[in-house]
Amino acid sequence: MSDSIQVPKSFQEIILRLQTYWAEKGCAVLQPYDMEVGAGTFHPATTLRSLGTQPWAAAYVQPSRRPTDGRYGENPNRLQHYYQYQVVIKPSPPDLQELYLGSLMAIGVDMSLHDIRFVEDDWESPTLGAWGLGWEVWCDGMEVSQFTYFQQVGGHDCHPVSGELTYGLERLAMYILGVDHVMDMPFNDPQTPIALTYGDIFKQTEEEYARWNFDTADTEVLLRHFEEAETHCREILDAPHEDPKTGKRIIMVHPAYDQCIKASHVFNLLDARGVISVTERQAYIGRVRALAKACADAFVQTSAGGWQPESAA
């Protein structure tokens, strides 16, 4: 078996192989969500689509931002901006573990030489009002993925249950490529004329954002943004379901959810600026969760969320 496994040469090759693999397994390969999020789970393709009864299968890369994790690009594995690979399938197929292991083989992990383990890890997102049971997947003692069966999202029980896989791409790729510092990792093929490392692309941005996140982001502006996003989210959801212009039933869940995402990210920025006290933290998280719940409540009233006109009465 090990003869047939080709070790990838670059970060992007690992991403491309994951895209191909999950496309072959029937997932719609989506693109990243065009807003700042803390994790791939925030993409509406996961949060909202895991609600309701409609079948769903999607895979995508999601750039994710965690302002407090910024280290000016100096720490070998901590970044304030990084990539997650996210797979979400509803209902969770019975062979999801095998499908997942297949994806590891596809990106060059030789199962006959490595030790893969499923170690208990219950997932909970207090900001999304979501939880699930599953594992962190270990490869030779290193956590390479999160594997979760969603039980609840936005306060709604998941029926059917979605299976969610999240790969921390940089860490996984560094392991496969044998790189010790993320900035040294080849982003494209190191044999090409213009070979670029991860550091060529992101060292400077990590510095810039670390400085901004920690020291210069205008907290008053951010606090105002938070309030505005919160208010706006509520207003969008409070609008009548019937659109006066078209006469159609249009519940504006996604625009409202965008405001929820925004509030969540602004909260993360405020946290990195150190202006949120321990006691306030819980209150802020509770406010974002309330928005996520309101969006979830609205989503199940839409056709993508399984709503049918005849069930309206």
Under rule CB under 8 A, residue 116 binds another protein: yes
Strand partners, 225: none
Give me the half-sphere count of Cα atoms (radius 13 Å) on the Cβ side of residue 185: 29
Under rule CB under 8 A, residue 186 binds another protein: no
Nearby residues of 149 by Cβ (< 8 Å), 6 or more positions away: 92, 132, 133, 134, 161, 162, 163, 164
d(CA 233, CA 36): 16
Per CB under 8 A, which region of 157-165, 241-249, 257-265, 301-309 contacts another protein? Answer: 157-165
d(CA 64, CA 268): 12
**Nearest CB to another protein, comparing residues 74 and 235:** 74
CB 120, min distance to another protein, A: 4
Task: Kindly tell me which residue out of 23, 24, 122, 231 binds another protein, with binding defined by CB under 8 A.
Answer: 122
**Nearest CB to another protein, comparing residues 115 and 310:** 115
Under rule CB under 8 A, residue 68 binds another protein: no
Could you identify the residue written with the tokens 């409202």? 256
Q: 312 burial class (0-12, 13-18, 19+ CB within 10 angstroms)?
A: exposed
d(CA 29, CA 43): 13
Under rule CB under 8 A, residue 7 binds another protein: no
Task: Kindly tell me which residue out of 3, 4, 34, 115 binds another protein, with binding defined by CB under 8 A.
Answer: 115
CB 2, min distance to another protein, A: 8
Under rule CB under 8 A, residue 4 binds another protein: no
| Residues in region 72-91 near another protein by CB under 8 A | 76-77, 91
Quick check: 269 and 222 in contact, CB under 8 A?
A: yes
Q: Which residues are near another protein by CB under 8 A?
A: 2, 76-77, 91-94, 97, 110-120, 122, 132-135, 139-142, 149, 151, 158-161, 163, 175, 180, 277-279
